[in-house]
Structure 1
Amino acid sequence: MPTTAPAAQNNSSRRRKTSAARRDDEAPLIPILARKVREVEAKAQRGKLGPTNRVKFQVIAFLVREERARVKAEAELDAGARAELLKRLDGVATILAKTAARDTSLIQLLEVDQATSPVARRMRRDWLIESGAELPPDELIITDVAPVSQPVVPAALAERQVVPPAIESRQMANPFLAPDLTAAAPQSAPRRRLDGWELMGPLFKAFETGAGGSAASMDLPEVPEFDRLSPKGLEVMAHQSRFLESVREGHRSFLLADEPGLGKTAQSVLAASVAGAYPLLVVVPNVVKMNWLREVGRWTPQRRATVVSGDGRDVDAFADVFIVNYEILDRHLSWLGSIGLKGMVVDEAHFIKNLTSQRSQNVLALAGRIREQVRDPLMLALTGTPLINDVEDFDAIWRFLGWTLGEKPGAELMDKLESTGLTPADKAFYPEAREAVISMGIVRRKKKDVAADLPDKLIADLPVELDDEFGRSVRQAERELGERLAARYRRILEARGDRGLAPGEIDDDIVRLVAHNELEESKAAGTGSENVFTMVRKIGQAKAHLAADYAVQLQRSVGKVVFFAKHIDVMDAAESHFAASGLRTVSIRGDQTTPARQLAIDAFNNDPGVGIAVCSLTAAGVGLNMQAASNVVLAELSWTAAEQTQAIDRVHRIGQEEPVTAWRIIAAHTIDTKIAELIDSKQGLAARALDGEAVDPGSSDSVQLSALMHVLRRTLGGE
């Protein structure tokens, strides 16, 4: 009986599968490496790799070299099988090279003599065991290298250090710090069951998937019967009181992730009082230094606070609370590390999410010095938006709090993970691991749960038509960008040959590659060429008059309005329009001195004659209280959902008595519309990771990358 065509195809398919299976039997590690390198590639396409995936990249490179040498030396392989296996290893190496081309900091990890960490060696061991390899005993047991104490002041910053004269007086008045005898060197811990596992990746995954489905907030004590903390004329709210009771019971490290507007500053000031954590260092964005000074005076009037500015000439050396902004911290590391700090607060802690930045390294170095000097210091990380694009945004915050040591959990968290009796190979490990981290001190409350009397918040989109010459030039620039991206896409597709695409089908991998390359070139070029950043800026300029005119009409009907823009020229254009309309305004910008900024905020909140506050989205989007208004106009869109939320919550916070409406001015028929949609979609990661909501976290791609992919797909006819 003749063989039918389908049967022949099935037989051919079976032969291919049998051949592939036989090759996998000859080199079972290669499929594992192929799977792992695709995971790394996918992460790299969404942005720079975090610590866990950098280690994974390094281990793949090591094992590719080892496996290539093994295949070449394997005498039992015939020439055809050896060539096929080497070809597959070359494929893995090619993906590594392309990934390193996107993030050049990875290139050094490809060096043959690059030292490997215990985490990397454990990862290598686990993959080899998964492939069925038999390892010698010395490769099965991997011990950690004792950590080397890093100086608070790196050599590169040594010459920049200043010591204010007043600080010298303090040090002379008390030349010897009283030793904290409880801060003895930790004893070496016994070997534990999880010591051999790579755990940071699973911990991040536990939050990324929202494992367990519960809100990320530790158990807190009940509200005490009596309010023992509020100074005269003020009252601690119930959710604040429960947090402070936890401090009273001895808890000392917190990620205070309450939604913006729920009084994190007041809670921190009172927590220092409850814990007696003085001297206390508070590291803040420049825009809120004066607000912190005021809040210390309001909630703990018996304590002295001082603001560190410039070289610290006017600092009160004998203060209880030292308030310094991120930008000048590098000059003051030396004396801050020597005055015996017993607590540290990092406000807007998502500012330190980039571990390679000097800002983050300065904060982590001081935190390490405090833990060396004091047993159980008060360490508070404050941010209502800890996750911006990726769950590894947690990494630096966890390090600051001492919960993790970078490559592995700290001793206390490790004990909690040990007590589960599970490993990352068990599905049940992930909800247990998430709860273990939460119990370390994550406190997350939402306005709707703890401030029942707080009015509603609404975000309303107002599409506007850019029908003038400016608007036409914006749409033309967007078309030209789309055509430039499409031309690159077609060149790559032609160079790679037939990829089995159906007519009209779009290759998403190439779309992502083209968009990623365009984004990197745009960042490097700055404002000197036409790119997605200059286009969005043009859209803001084109919307400036329309947004300002809407704010004028709004102010005349509802009263005070907060007007946010991203670029200075848009703020300038709006202020000119407000002046021509006869409105008094104040301006809050990044180049203002701290006292001038606070005067502007006070005038807006207290002077009935001031109608509009014109604010920089980046300089005024955090830490400020502008609840005299209940309407916000967003003249330009941010690149992150967190920045938009922070801006709106300058108005929607405790003490607000009116429903809050944020009016987003969106340029119709432009990329602006897609950016607004992408910003809204980015809320999913935080909702799943922090609030335990069963929502799709969406892509972890940045808004910029997603917007460029949209422009390209639309030009190709895919959207």
Structure 2
Amino acid sequence: MPASVFVPGIEEEEFVARPGQRSTRTRRTAPRNQRRVRDGDVMSVIARAVREVEAAAERGRVTPAVRTKFQVVALLVREEHARVRAEESSTPAQRAEQLKRLDGVATILAKTAVRDSGLLALLAEDAVVSDAARALKREMLEAIGIEQEPEEVAPPAPVADVAVAERRVVPQSVVSRQLANPFLAPDFSAAPPPVARPRRLAGWELLNPLLNSFERAAGGAPACMPLPAPASLRAAGGRELMPHQAQVVAAAAEGHRTFLLADEPGLGKTAQSLLAAEAADAYPLLVVVPSVVKTNWAREAGIWTPHRTATVVHGDGDTIDGFADIVVVNYELLDRHVGWLGGFGFRGMVVDEAHFIKNRTSQRSQHVLELSDRIRTRTLRPLLMALTGTPLINDIEDFRAIWQFLGWIDESKPLGELMEALEETGLTPADPGFYPAARRCVIDLGIVRRRKVDVAADIPARRIADLPVELDDKAGRSIRAAERELARRLVKRYESALAARESADVVEEIDVELVRKVARWELKDATATQTGENVFTMMRRIGQAKAGPAADYAAQLARSAGKVVFFAKHVDVMDAAEETFARQGIGFASVRGDQTPSARQRHIDAFVNDPDVAVAVCSLTAAGVGLNLQVASNIVLAELSWTDAEQTQAIDRSHRIGQTEPVTAWRIIAAQTIDSRIAELIDSKAGLAARALDGSDEEVQSSADVQHEALVALLTDALRA
């Protein structure tokens, strides 16, 4: 047994040492009439109780009373461990002897729990201390003279919390693993002692300046932490790494433990993270991914770390291997499994497509942050890796949740190493040199950003080619009529707002600020209601009208140039395209968000391996991340994304390491509609990551306001007409 015993699921109580007497047990303050008690009294009670529990388990008579006594012994062992370790009046030898006796009791508890899974459940992280256990514990302690304060009755759990708890599961194979090692103790023995230093920046608000430091990045500013030269480019099994991949593995081998791996899509982040975990011995390893790629992650683990077992969580986890080295779970299942995952003993965690957690209020973000926090509380310097080729989709705020996952910041301030690094700069946010220095501090914590052009020059070029299509049929006429009606509504709203002003001044020119306000009002209404014509319904109708021409062009490419990836946002557009391919005798695979992982993987494998499957019809949201579709060099974007990042992710399913042909993305644009305006806006707002991460001089703009800017342009054109 380890030097300290940890019983999962048992809350610690405080132990308050008073002058002239031994530590007393209390919830908040010691009882007024606390009697002096010998340590041996408590130990004798624990020893007698654990022998009774052990004897009952050996006879196979584990009654409810025995389970209650088992839980009380576990509680007392935990409390005595904490008290003994905090005892200042004892000599080291006395403390060692007391801890040795407690470890003996813990060993008996562990062996007894193996006999009955119901006993093991009492040691689980989410175990509830029963009323009977509380009463028995109070009775046993008061019998030897330790008085207990009345416990406050906890309020009933909110209905929402009860519903969440009911959904949570613990797979049987995980129970088996816990049976094999029921006492999982945190180990911080190697932690360096805290150093008390004056905090020059203690009174400063630092998070916003840190984020702003990336917006203010000058041309040529560094985007990557210093990385060591790799000693070898060979991985397990003889596979060869590219130099940029081997650098990250070497950094992990040298002791670096937090990475925002933000390489451009297609540069092999999966292999880097798996081999970094191997170099850091960060097992068991938790990998959180989008559902579309979790099966592929298990395959990649088999390729890059073949001597490690990987398991994938599906549904309630009935099929997982509780003893695996690598556990792969998708974001959508975290609410069901976060309980046991938090107590599994992971020494590393990888979050793939980490921009999925940019909204810190979302449930999946909260689960990811909870898991990383629990891993850090149990493991000294765990390996934490956030993987994303597009860390900034909307604005600089997207960094917050990722930095928090990595333990660099909390909700309000920098933490640990980052705070120390900022202190060492000798600067404050009032100093002009603070912002480049602060950016450097963050990057040195583990931001790794490499571009294809710099580290994989042998990957052929890519280009985006726009193909305008004329919508001259009934659907096209209807779309243009709806666009005119939307413009008239915006003009009417603008004129009403202008007339309502108190000022009698005549406005000769267009009031640009009012135009932007009207566009914001319209966008807010469109987001809040599902009825009527708005910018979102118009874009969907445009996508439906483009489905036929886009599918025809993809079929033409498939016949003349080989395999093609066809991306669309909406299911009805995918359906229409697949009907076209079926009618023309073009074999296709379908990759959608509502498929099971095994079905989705069958379609992907068919597209990659079957020469008769010429087109992969893919959901832009479900298949735009994590997949390797480099077998195709032509991509058809039937519908526009709202962000350049989403568009880039889709293109980079083909434009990645291993591609041997130039990649062309054919954007199908509905001419003379708002579609063409949105395409221009997407292209104009592609500079955020380039400036913030790559040190480019491109202007930083938010990608979140494309809809707003489209409405501004529509209203401005209507007012000028």
TM-score higher than 0.5 here? yes
The residue that corresponds to 1:583 in the other structure is 586
How is 1:246-645 mapped onto 2 (pairs within 5 angstroms)?
246-498=251-503, 502-503=507-508, 505-526=509-530, 528-645=531-648
Is 1:670 matched with 2:673?
Answer: yes
Per-residue CA deviations over 1:535-564 (Å, capped at 9, x if unaligned) read 000000111111111111111110100000
- Cα deviation digits, residues 493-523 of structure 1 (max 9, x gap): 11124486751x2222222222112112212
Aligned partners of 2:219 and 2:696 also within 8 Å: no
- Match of 1:323, SS? strand
Question: Matched residues in 2 for 1:385 and 1:696: separation?
Answer: 17
Task: Specify the SS of the correspondent of 2:237.
Answer: coil
In 2, Cα distance between equivalents of 1:355 and 1:382: 17
Measured in 1, the distance between the counterparts of 2:281 and 2:454 equals 30
Q: So what's the TM-score if we normalise by structure 1?
A: 0.76
2:15 match: none
> Residue 177 of structure 1: CA displacement?
1.1
Following the alignment from structure 2 to structure 1, what is the Cα–Cα distance between the partners of residues 709 and 504? Answer: 23
Q: Are 1:160 and 2:167 an aligned pair? A: yes
* Equivalent-residue separation in structure 1 for 2:718 and 2:190 (angstroms): 63
- Partners of 2:393 and 2:703 within 8 A in 1: no
Going from structure 1 to structure 2, the CA distance change for 1:499 and 1:254 (only over 3 Å counts) comes to farther
Match of 2:660 in 1: 657
Q: Does the CA-based 8 Å contact 2:644-2:703 persist in structure 1?
A: no
CA distance in 2, matches of 1:540, 1:264: 33
Structure 2: how far apart are the matches of 1:155 and 1:184? 37
CA 1:489–1:415 in 2, change beyond 3 Å: closer, same or farther? same
Amino acid at match of 1:357: S
Query: Residues 434 and 297 from structure 1, CA distance in 2 versus in 1: closer, same or farther, beyond 3 angstroms?
Result: same
Deviation sequence 1:152-171 (CA, Å, 0-9, x none): x9776323210011111110
RMSD of aligned C-alpha atoms?
1.7
Corresponding position of 1:96: none
Among 689, 694, 699, the alignment partner of 2:697 is 694
Structure 2 equivalent of residue 53 of structure 1 = none
- Residues 180-191 of structure 1: pairs in structure 2 closer than 5 A: 180-182=187-189, 187=194, 189-191=196-198
Aligned partner (choices 214, 218, 231) of residue 207 of structure 1: 214
Match status 1:198 vs 2:167: no
Alignment deviations for residues 150-194 of structure 1 (CA, whole Å, 9 cap, x no partner): xxx977632321001111111011111143133769748433111
- Does the Cα contact within 8 Å between 2:554 and 2:566 map onto a contact in 1? yes
> Shift in Å at residue 621 of structure 1?
0.3
Amino acid paired to 2:387: L
Whether contact under 8 Å (2:288, 2:331) holds in the other structure is yes
**Residues in 2 aligned to 1:207 and 1:284: alpha-carbon distance in whole angstroms:** 27
Give the AA of the match of 1:318: F
Indicate the SS of the match to 2:687.
helix
- Give 1:214-229 correspondences, 5 Å limit: 214-224=221-231, 226-229=232-235
Would you say the 8 A contact 1:183–1:374 is kept in 2? no
Closer, same or farther: CA 361–699 of 1 in aligned 2, 3 Å: closer
Aligned partners of 1:433, 1:185: CA distance in 2, in Å? 25
Distance 1:581 1:298, change over 3 A: same
1:327 maps to a residue whose letter is: E
- AA in 1 matched with 2:391: P
Whole-Å separation in 1 of the counterparts to 2:625 and 2:205 = 36
Provide the C-alpha distance between the structure 2 equivalents of 1:185 and 1:362, rounded to a whole number of angstroms: 29
Larger radius of gyration: 2
Match of 1:708 among 690, 708, 711: 711
8 Å CA contact retained: 2:682, 2:703: no
Q: Deviations over 1:341-363 (max 9, x none)?
A: 10100000000000111110000
> 8 Å contact 2:643–2:703 — kept in the other structure?
no
The alpha-carbon deviation at position 292 of structure 1 amounts to: 0.1
Q: 1:413-435: CA deviations, max 9, x gaps? A: 11111111111111111111111
Partners of 1:406 and 1:500 in 2: how far apart?
47
The answer for the alignment partner of 1:717 in structure 2 is: 720
Native 8 Å contact 1:211 1:430 kept in 2 = no
Distance 1:185 1:688 in 2: 37
CA-to-aligned-CA distance 1:440-470 (integer Å, 9 cap, x gap):
1000000000001000000000011101110
Moved more, 177-186 or 564-573: 177-186
CA distance in 2, matches of 1:658, 1:423: 50
- More divergent stretch after superposition (567-576 vs 493-502): 493-502
Contact 2:408 2:415 in 1 (8 A): yes
Offset of residue 229 of structure 1: 2.4
1:12-65 deviation per Cα after TM superposition (whole angstroms, max 9, x unaligned):
xxxxxxxxxxxxxxxxxxxxxxxxxxxxxxxxxxxxxxxxxxxxxxxxxxxxxx
Q: Percent identity?
A: 65
Matched residue type, 2:229? E
Deviation at 1:714, TM superposition (A): 1.3
CA distance in 1, matches of 2:618, 2:390: 20
In structure 2, what is the Cα distance between the partners aligned to 1:699 and 1:307?
A: 36
Give the counterpart letter for 1:649 in structure 2.
D
User: Using the alignment, how far apart are the partners of 2:472 and 2:539 within structure 1?
Assistant: 17
Q: In structure 2, how many angstroms separate the alpha carbons of the residues matched to 1:703 and 1:710? A: 10
Question: CA distance change for structure 1 residues 374 and 696 in 2, over 3 Å: closer, same or farther?
Answer: same
Partner secondary structure for residue 575 of structure 1 = helix
Contact 1:545 1:574 in 2 (8 A): yes
2:459 is paired with a residue of what secondary structure? coil
- What is the CA–CA distance in structure 2 between the aligned matches of 1:532 and 1:179, rounded to whole Å? 53
Per-residue deviation, 1:486: 1.3
Deviation at 1:215, TM superposition (A): 3.5
Instruction: Tell whether the 8 Å contact from 1:389 to 1:682 is kept in structure 2 after alignment.
Output: no
Q: Is the 8 A contact 2:286 2:349 kept in 1?
A: yes
SS at match of 1:363: helix
**Conservation of the 8 A alpha-carbon contact between 1:254 and 1:401:** yes
**1:223 Cα deviation after fit:** 3.0
